[in-house]
Amino acid sequence: MGCSTAIFLARKGFHVSIFDKEKHPFSAASRWNEGKIHLGFIYSADPSLRTASHVIPGGLNFRPLIEELVGTSLAPAITSEDDLYLCHRDSVTSASEMMTYMEKVVERVRAHPDAKRYLADVSDCRVQRLNSSQLANLTSSPDIVAGLRAPERSVETNWVAEKFISALAEEKLIELLMEVRITAAHPTGDSAEGTWSIETSEGTFGPYDYVINSLWQGRMAIDQTAGIEPTGTWSNRYRQSLFVRTRTTVNTPCAVIATGPFGDIKNYNGRDFYLSWYPDGLRVDSSDVLPPDIKESAVSDSQALKDSIFQNLESLLPWAAQVREQAEYIYLEGGWVFAAGQGLLSDPKSTLHRRSDYGITRHGRYFSVDTGKYSTAPFLAKSLAHSLAE
């Protein structure tokens, strides 16, 4: 979010300083996530379609915006097949509710003026329910009760991260201040409409014409120092997943076990894979304004955790074993998921199933951005840069 905003602003003539507590940009959630470019299909527990409607414009415009930002085609990073949604028997929505919901989402997607701009053209897309033999080819588990193919794709987030790092280096108006932790933000004078300064582990920086807080987890702690009190409910979940490279090409589909605390497998290009099993990978679930330091809870290289993620996926999708058998390396990596919601994914009433409350809050010349999703970041960044340049 911060890097996208910085590049858009620099190209409009702003001098931008990017602060990050890590050694390199893109070391956190935006490198270590699944890269699903959401059109809303996963949010069947929000039948109001508010979540889907909110994420669709960002999802459809992700590709052209990233290509504009990094100056190269996104094609090599895009999954080649649509995602399979496999309905678990403990899903928070039944297979028929899921199908009805997805049909409504598809109508919205098809009708959107930017439908041709998605990772693949979705202006004439459909949801397809798998017949029994198609489903039997994927799994014999009685826990999977239906399969739906939805026109949703993903990108390989590591590939995108590397392109961003190169693009940032080309921007003469951007300075990177790495390994600097932000601790507070204040107006330099009496008014929030004047300039701002920030407090960091390396001292005070500023004055700045604008401060944009896109820190993701812990963002609200800085907001409090700036005069914005948290409202509503929220949670910060630290999730670990597997990022696998195989020695040879493995032809497996991209499948999401939905909807609830299950898992998924993503095949980006036949050799790079993402695998998750939600209950195993969830290391922290905190509703503190400032979540705890992950180093205490994150497992950095536990063979037991890796084995468990594979075993749980393989018990439902036996072909996932091919990825393990062919693995050249398996990284266990993680990132935070901030959400304006709380609860358990197994609970249909959990507000985590409704993800429509994200976006930009303004306090004078201080902006705080709840990115929402990876897929929505470039769209929000463009809109923020546009409004600052007006």
Ligand X SMILES: Cc1cc2nc3c(=O)[nH]c(=O)nc-3n(C[C@H](O)[C@H](O)[C@H](O)COP(=O)(O)OP(=O)(O)OC[C@H]3O[C@@H](n4cnc5c(N)ncnc54)[C@H](O)[C@@H]3O)c2cc1C
Which residues of the chain form contacts with ligand X (CB under 6 A)? 1-2, 19-22, 27-30, 33-36, 38, 181-182, 214-216, 218, 239, 241, 335, 337, 371, 373-375, 377
d(CA 233, CA 222): 17
Task: Give the total residue count for the chain.
Answer: 390
CB of 165 to ligand X, least distance (A): 12
CB of 137 to ligand X, least distance (A): 25
CB of 183 to ligand X, least distance (A): 7
Give the amino acid at 139: T
d(CA 336, CA 216): 8
d(CA 132, CA 64): 38
Decide whether 38 or 353 has the Cβ nearer to ligand X.
38
Decide whether 67 or 199 has the Cβ nearer to ligand X.
199
CB of 145 to ligand X, least distance (A): 23
CB of 372 to ligand X, least distance (A): 6
Decide whether 57 or 141 has the Cβ nearer to ligand X.
57
Phi-psi region of 40 (alpha: psi -120 to 50; beta: other; left: phi over 0): left
Cβ atoms of 359 and 372 within 8 Å: the answer is yes
User: Cβ neighbours of residue 182 under 8 Å, at least 6 residues apart?
Assistant: 19, 21, 198, 199, 200, 213, 215, 222
CB of 184 to ligand X, least distance (A): 10
Decide whether 135 or 370 has the Cβ nearer to ligand X.
370
Question: Tokens representing 104?
Answer: 């409504």
What DSSP letter does each residue of 300-321 carry, written as one string? SS-HHHHHHHHHHHHHH-GGGH
Decide whether 34 or 112 has the Cβ nearer to ligand X.
34
Name the β-bridge partners of 243: 274, 331
Decide whether 51 or 241 has the Cβ nearer to ligand X.
241
d(CA 182, CA 168): 20
CB of 310 to ligand X, least distance (A): 16
Decide whether 175 or 325 has the Cβ nearer to ligand X.
175
For 9, 65, 167, 279, the CA distances from 262, given in Å and listed in that order, are 39, 31, 36, 7
d(CA 311, CA 388): 49
CB of 175 to ligand X, least distance (A): 15
Decide whether 135 or 153 has the Cβ nearer to ligand X.
153
